[in-house]
Amino acid sequence: MHRSLTLTWQFYRPFLYYHLIFTAFGLFLIVGTADAIFLALPTKLLSYGGMVFYQHYLHPQEYFYYRNAGTSMRRVYALALAADLLAFVTVATVCLLLTK
């Protein structure tokens, strides 16, 4: 499991600032108006689509590194996106509770 987490972190690290920008934008929508919470989640999902597009179509040769390490790409994507979504939902919930 430790190896999978390390490989997932290596996969996710180049996209960290990209996701932080979308997270900040989503939180801005939540804090700006509480009614815009339905826009925050699609914004975050749009960032996931951008990451998948970038990785799958522009840098597919990097998949060989993860496959040779014995980890499937589905697992790497699932761990990276699940951890990011969990962090986003947690921070968004705290921000929503603090604004009310």
Q: What is the pLDDT of residue 37?
A: 67
Residue type, 48: Y
- Give the 3-state secondary structure of residue 72: coil
18 band by pLDDT with thresholds 50, 70 and 90: confident
- The answer to whether 91 touches 83, Cβ cutoff 8 Å, is no
pTM of the model: 0.80
**Tokens 């014995």 identify what position?**
70
pLDDT over 70 (residue 43): yes
**Calpha distance 41→60 (Å, rounded):** 27
From the list 78, 97, 94, the residue with the least C-alpha distance to 8 is 78
**Calpha distance 75→90 (Å, rounded):** 22
